[in-house]
Chains A and B, each alone.
Chain A
């Protein structure tokens, strides 16, 4: 097992609970779609899995590393080397070129594989766009760069939060196809948050979240 989420609770400041006793496991190379209504806690759970946020109770373990024992620097190291993220709003670094964005996370962790990056650029259709800046790309192109940036790391765990939420249907299908292909080729596990039943259906497993609990 790669990721283990055990009885995790999380409340907003003020006390309103977001997640209550959530338990979830994810194996290596497994893909899991997390669905649920708005406000059900999907993104919060993803943020906790990415060690971006702190939980109030329970435990999360990634490849044997317990999150509750990690300080800020430990969490950063985990994010740098084990986890990659793809966001709905792409969140590329606007001041870096496409090529620099692609390699950024892998270089940050010191695991850049130039050959793999070249393959990624080609398969994502970015070869001609490497010198451009993010603001010069379409939404679909930006999301492909975001996927490439995440996959350049060959992360054990890829977390994607509504990765096609800002794209039209055709672009969504193309982006999802690419992401799933690359995840399989890299041997990464994928925890995917989505509203779309058709996208969720393409994952190995689906989990539905309702009012902060696994339904």
Chain B
């Protein structure tokens, strides 16, 4: 019996192959973008975890010497005192094709490093080989090839457990390669410390232990970036589900007579429910698999840009290679199943609860499945209010995203009512009978198209909102760069000795020299960089102060006050009038706050003369040089020649700005791509809605045709209808998009990055986007319009003949 029922149920899809294709496409598109984002996030997080494991930066405390590099003697003292620690030596190694990070770890103390475990377990190489001369270098495949191409290096072993762009080796080998073998960078505190070991200040006075939490783990820095991507993935997923909801609703409605017949023939409703559920899940798995394949391609295309962004913005080690991970496949298929179930729930419930003798009813399926537009609008307003209350009562990124979600979903639910009102206004302006019909007909079609239009609203609002945020950010950022990068040339010396020589040389060859000296210390458990500046009009006239006030620079230069960056101000709620206390115990009143985009850490500015008071060595290697622009090239040339400086040691302002802008633009490539993909999915939703509504259009079109309106005119009006509805939706998306931009700039950005940006408007961009939306609607309406144009009169006559 089951086989016969399954045959009957599946026969629907044989008769409606386009509907089946639409349903599978909806599930696949919803899954694809979500899976793509998840693949990117999973890959990036795996890279962070790998890096953290290797560097012990994320999970293990470090012991450092605040005065500079540690010595092996200090390390040995710690070990002798019973401390379970491993020495780490970091540096840069010149290999074929450029310089790479070299990480030397005392492998004898820390033999359980994953890279070592991997090569000994998998490749059968004894760990002792890495300790004996000439040592071994561990690196990923691509870097390993470069290392092998470099002469005079120890043998290279490939390992997938080494961070991207890093060469791992024993500390002895690292010392031999970097020079000064008695020097180490820091030590990591290994787990399982013995009880009773003497305190650190007793064993090695002057050394400082830095907790893993205070170390600014990469994962926490990049969380907001990944949350942003996840939000986009969810938005695309929701837009795709609109297609599924619409198609399943229609398919179930069309199957009502068959279900009634099957029940009349004695098939229990419980069995029907079970089979329909199995059918849905099978379709979800097929669509989900297609979505995973599509998602893999999308992720593969986007990952290199994401990797570049994460490296550029956060210094996070992510390679651009995608690995298929079981967790990703499982989560993609899970989302396809959950999404399909959620989108089909209402239709399934109604069908499975349908009384045996119920009739299809006079109203169209979509009218039955939609609540009243007023009720929807009320729910929408409720969601918006809920989002606002959440952000008022709670802080944090999640609260910000709750506001975003409430705003977007609430506005989507309000859309049918707003469109209905706008169409009423349009109808009142209609002059001819035909235009009156067009407006009334659009209103009548609204319930069937509203889901697709909601999808378009969300996609458009996301485009406008994110576009406004990115463009505002870019405008502010370029202006800020002009203010911050005032020196025409920047130079970095090899060491303090060379720094002193360069400073002297520059005093004779440039207009003015602005030394860039900074100390790294801790404030409230987080790192802070304190910069010293000399009194120069460059700072007084250019520095981007968010809280300008009379006499700010005078107070700073007299050593009476400090300037802090916006990130520090917002994180610690410190503003002009408050004070900052920095170690060892120096307190400065805050004179002002300045913008510092792109910098995730806290920063402060003091008069140069104040820096020695902290008791830390002040490096003197970096300088800003003020010059007439036409002298930048010659001075750079002379400087390079005089001090034998490598190419990277001299950066001119234009170059630095171009690089900064390049990093900035790369950061938002992914966002832009996801924006366009979401708009594409919304366009597809409109297309599928128009197609699925097609069969119900004929009874409305045939009488008008019979009264003397040609098929060509009707086809044109079908296109116009699609375009007008898209135009009205775009119009409504504009204020929503601007609200979204405001939330992104004023709430999400502040929570995620610690800075707030001014909002600018870009009407030309909106016009372009609007044109794109209209084009999308036009393309979506083309096939139904073409069908109408080519429809034989006999098909239209069937409407009157009751043969349909």
Contacts and interface: CB of A to CB of B under 8 A. Distances in A.
A108 interface: yes
A144 interface: no
B433 interface: yes
A114 interface: no
Sort chain A's interface into a size bin.
20 to 34
A94 B710 contact: no
Interface in A148-169: 161
A100 interface: yes
Interface in B449-467: none
A72 B801 contact: no
A96 interface: yes
Given A52-B797, A54-B793, A72-B710, A108 B434 contact: yes
Interface string A88-114: 110111111000100111011100000
B802 A96 contact: no
B706 A85 contact: yes
Task: With a 10 A CB-CB cut-off, give which of B434, B699, B710, B799 has the most chain A CB atoms.
Answer: B710
A149 B654 CA distance: 75
A73 interface: yes
Contacts of B794: 13, 53
Given A88-B802, A107-B432, A96 B708 contact: no
A47 interface: yes
Given A53-B797, A87-B800, A88-B802, A93 B433 contact: no
A80 B707 contact: yes
A50 B796 CA distance: 13
Contact of B712 (A72, A78, A100, A135): A72
Interface in B688-719: 699-700, 702-713
B793 A73 contact: no
B488 interface: no
A95 B794 CA distance: 24
Interface stretch (B6-14, B406-414, B440-448): B440-448
B804 to A, nearest CB: 10
A96 B434 contact: no
Task: With a 10 A CB-CB cut-off, give which of B443, B706, B799 has the most chain A CB atoms.
Answer: B706
Contacts of B578: none
Contacts of B357: none
Interface string A46-85: 0100101110000000000000000011001111110001
A93 B436 contact: no
Contacts of A93: 437, 440-441, 700, 703-704
Nearest to A84: B707
B139 to A, nearest CB: 70
B362 interface: yes
Task: With a 10 A CB-CB cut-off, give which of B444, B708, B713, B797 has the most chain A CB atoms.
Answer: B708
A108 B444 CA distance: 20
A100 B703 CA distance: 14
B433 A76 contact: no
A95 B709 contact: no
B797 A94 contact: no
A89 B706 CA distance: 14
A18 to B, nearest CB: 11
Contacts, number: 88
B707 A105 contact: yes
A172 interface: no
Nearest to B709: A76
B799 A91 contact: yes
Nearest to A104: B433
A18 B195 CA distance: 104
Given A93-B437, A107-B432, A77 B708 contact: yes
B793 A103 contact: no
Given A47-B797, A95-B700, A80 B362 contact: no
A76 B802 contact: no
A210 interface: no
A73 B709 CA distance: 8
A50 B444 CA distance: 28
A91 B436 CA distance: 18
Nearest to B706: A85
Given A47-B797, A53-B794, A91-B800, A79 B441 contact: no
Given A94-B444, A96-B436, A108-B434, A76 B710 contact: yes
A161 B709 CA distance: 20
Contact of B437 (A79, A95, A109, A135): A95
A43 interface: yes
Contacts of B432: 107
A135 B703 contact: no
Contact of B706 (A43, A50, A88, A96): A50
B637 to A, nearest CB: 77
Contact of A53 (B433, B793, B799): B793
B476 to A, nearest CB: 49
Interface string A183-215: 000000000000000000000000000000000
Contacts of A96: 436-437, 440
B800 A89 contact: yes
A104 B437 contact: yes
Contacts of B796: 52
A95 B444 contact: yes
A105 B702 CA distance: 13
Contact of A52 (B704, B713, B793): B793
A56 B699 CA distance: 26
Contact of A108 (B433, B699, B712, B793): B433
Interface in B336-371: 362-363
A91 B702 contact: yes
Nearest to A85: B706
Nearest to B439: A95
A105 B432 CA distance: 11
Contact of B707 (A13, A79, A94): A79
B700 A108 contact: no
B439 to A, nearest CB: 9
Interface in B409-425: none
A30 to B, nearest CB: 23
A94 B444 CA distance: 8
B711 A79 contact: no
B710 A81 contact: no
Contact of A95 (B443, B799, B801, B802): B443
B441 A91 contact: no
Contact of A135 (B362, B434, B797): B362
Contact of A161 (B433, B436, B800): B800
Interface string A27-57: 0000000000000000100010010111000
Contacts of B437: 93, 95-96, 100, 104
Given A94-B700, A100-B436, A79 B708 contact: yes
A109 B271 CA distance: 56
B703 A108 contact: no
B419 to A, nearest CB: 14
B697 to A, nearest CB: 12
A13 B797 CA distance: 14
B435 to A, nearest CB: 10
A107 B437 CA distance: 11
Contact of A91 (B703, B708, B711): B703
Contacts of B703: 87, 91-93
B801 A80 contact: no
Given A53-B794, A89-B802, A95-B443, A81 B706 contact: no
Interface of B: 362-363, 432-434, 436-437, 440-441, 443-444, 699-700, 702-713, 793-794, 796-797, 799-802
Nearest 7 pairs of A and B residues by beta carbon: A80-B708, A107-B433, A95-B444, A95-B440, A79-B708, A91-B703, A76-B710
Interface of A: 13, 43, 47, 50, 52-54, 72-73, 76-81, 85, 87-89, 91-96, 100, 103-105, 107-109, 135, 161
25 contacts: A13-B794, A43-B801, A47-B800, A53-B793, A53-B797, A72-B710, A72-B711, A76-B705, A76-B708, A77-B708, A88-B800, A91-B703, A91-B706, A94-B444, A94-B699, A94-B700, A95-B441, A95-B443, A96-B437, A96-B440, A104-B433, A108-B433, A108-B434, A108-B707, A161-B800
